Amino acid sequence: MTETEQLTPRAGPDDETLYVARDEAETGSKAPFFAAFVDPERDRRWGYFCGNCQTFTHAMDPMGRLRCDDCENFKRPDEWDAAHE
């Protein structure tokens, strides 16, 4: 499968076309978050696409946490351990 075949065009917020990269994923609590790009060349990242509820989000914090506002799917911080809870 080529790089372009792994991109899925989807209507994003404001009906702009965003490209979901199924080969670039972050593990979520309910489903993966896939990288979303503005262009098929992957030059400009827009944010992420929630694999659980099929919506877009761009709310990653500086520690690498992601949270979907629609379904509460989340990704723990990159440097997570039990002491953070």
Q: Residue ranges per domain, the chain?
A: 4-78
Structure confidence at residue 5 (pLDDT): 65
DSSP for 9-66 reads EEE-GGG-EEEEEEEEEE--SSSPEEEEESSTT--SEEEEEETTT--EE----TT--E
Residues 48-83: tens digit of each pLDDT: 999 999 999 987 888 889 999 899 999 988 765 555
Residues 23-52: tens digit of each pLDDT: 999 999 999 999 999 999 999 999 999 999
